[in-house]
Structure 1
């Protein structure tokens, strides 16, 4: 039979081994903990950055040209950090067309608008079925990417021949079942853009119909005010 001293020494060795194992596990656990924090913090971080850039983009779109450099800088960072995200690339491309809008020199305008449209085209090519399921701050990525593209195409000069691609994309988007899953603000703005296309075709009845649909679903915003004003003008 083993002596008491043997069991005492065995107990000491087991405890010592346990302590050594715990010490070796501390760095591993620390790395695992930091990795977990990083993974779960990233979505919140890039969503916050996107929301900031988006709000600035809307300010720029409304006419504040001084905000354009910051918009381009912020969306450039988002695209660099998330090259797989077509929506960020679409907004960056649209921001470059806004830079062209506000530029003085014709060659600067053409350079920036070409660069911007190339980015928007690439964003559309990047769209996959998975983007019909993917959402950013509650908005379907595929639908918002198309909205940015349509709006951009309709706003660039006619000689760039983007009107027909905008119309084709509108037809495709409005017929897509995923359209109904998009937030009201996105659907309403797509209707508003469709009304712009109808106006260019001088189709007053279609324009009125689309403006009515836009007013019905748009939340209070400058876009709803615009739709209401245009609808009122058509009725007078």
Structure 2
């Protein structure tokens, strides 16, 4: 900021409004150049620190292999979704998806190939879920999908679509010219049904216990999908 005359009040106001520095008219060009150089140096340092902080925060909540959110992020986010859905009287769906016979992929093709399979399946799942819905990797080959504003019909439709997207095309390993068939099993529970009898009548508490309970119910449905021969979708039974 360049002021017409020396004025302490104007100087304070300028700095308060966001000016990085203040000079008075008829200033020395060399002094101005030095001040600008110092401002730019501080700006570059601030940008580097900001990028470093952002990268650190992303690393804390992101799975490095798949780029999806990790369990640390997913649990509180699911709890918040459950809390908000209860307040608004909306249904939502919780899905736990697990790759079928993934150990055989690692044993037969190696862990590097297994990592490629996981990353590709994660890409397909992420491309299929709706914008705004949560998808995370919560275990070795286990994924969590939280579908907001869902009905049992829309949740079942999405789960079957996810299953079909995964099994439709084998995962291609370009460097080895291999195609690995992959299937997935999915367990689904409805938030509006799964919380019946599990929580008090007041709003669901926003904590990890809520998320863990919902995931456990979806896990139980997943066991049913595995028991039915895998490559399957099972909806949890409504609470009595």
TM-score normalised by L of structure 2: 0.28
Per chain length, whose mean CA-contact separation is higher, i.e. which structure has more relative contact order (CA < 8 Å, sep 6+)? Answer: 2
Q: Which structure features the higher share of strand residues?
A: 2
TM-score normalised by L of structure 1: 0.28
